[in-house]
Amino acid sequence: MTRNIVFFVYPGFDLLDLAGPMSVFGDVGIYRDNPYVLQVVSETGGPIASTVGAPVLTTRLDDQVPIDTFVVVGGWPGCKQRPSEAMARFVARAAARSRRVASVCTGAFLLAEAGLMQGRRCTSHWRYAADLQAAFPDLKVDADRIYMRDGNVWTSAGSSAGIDLGLALIEEDVGLQVSQSVARGLVVYHRRLGGQSQYSALLEMDPPSDRIRGALAFARERLHEPLPVERLAEAANLSPRQFGRAFLAETGTSPAKAVERLRAEAARPMVESSAQALDQIGLAVGFSDPERMRQAFVRCFGQPPQALRRAGRANRAGEPSGDVEAYPPLSA
């Protein structure tokens, strides 16, 4: 069965928001007969300039062609520049003809403005999530998700999260094996789970010295093993006292707290996506007992593992459960 995937762009769209998911769908043909036909459309057709200036050639949407998935990419209009009423109507009409609708990054603003997300759970880039919530109070915006599904509407975080969204849609359509193969071919993680945080402990810490970075990499590869400060200091070729001081100075946290965060981040996808016993997951990432993992999850994510597991099940089932200008609604 042919599935028409239609990407909607506009002047000032983000090029990666388009190229990432398009590459994912296009690469399915490497591993099997590709059911996807890809089309990039705009209101006017013709070349449309992206945020970096590079234009993409688009076509006008053919009202006679069925749409399987309608994807609104991010960019501007976004949270600062209001789309025109004509653009909102265009998105609404295309969505009404589609089996499912998706957005990448600030594309969620366009879906909301088109009236497609009333009361739904959704996500967007963490930088603009608060503005999305303020502009559309009836939404349930979760700023800490890579992607999210509510019914037939899928939303994702910024830029590279469009790749994760595409992989998840492919898995739903043609299966896990194909999705995994596409991810390997693109040299990316096989679909970071939708519930995975947009943040990373390693990215947040970002130590400047090779020794501390090396110690963190050493820890990440051996989370299931005991990782006392003495062992990490040895990996960094420092005394435990020197290492503790340098680590705190460069990362703003202690080695023990950093290891706890890394273990919690490693455990969270398994907690949310598998039926494996929580104590087994904890042991696999180095928590000595379930209570230690529970306390770590509450500190890191604000919820215990059991709550995140329930939320993960609801998310897979599609159940409802700054200094940026406010985004004004369109006039009636």
**Which residues are annotated as catalytic?**
105
- Report the candidate in 102, 157, 149 with the shortest Cα–Cα distance to residue 129: 157
Q: What angle do CA 303, 160, 144 make, to 5 degrees?
A: 15
Q: What is the DSSP letter of 107?
A: H
Residue 15's alpha-carbon distances to 12, 158, 304, in angstroms, are 9, 12, 38
Q: How many CA atoms lie within 13 A of 227 on its CB side?
A: 27
Residue 297's alpha-carbon distances to 115, 192, 260, 301, in angstroms, are 36, 18, 9, 5
Token pair in block for residue 8: 């909607």
- The answer to whether 159 touches 105, Cβ cutoff 8 Å, is yes
Q: Which long-range contacts (CB under 8 A, 24 or more apart) does 57-66 make?
A: 58/9, 61/6, 61/90, 61/94, 65/4, 65/39, 66/4, 66/97
Q: What angle do CA 25, 27, 33 make, to 5 degrees?
A: 90
DSSP string computed for 242-261: HHHHHHHHHHSS-HHHHHHH
b/e sequence 14-33, b meaning 16+ C-beta within 10 Å? bbbbbbbbbbbbbbbeebee
Report CA torsion sign: 106, 184, 267, 278. Answer: positive
**Cα–chain center distance at 221:** 23
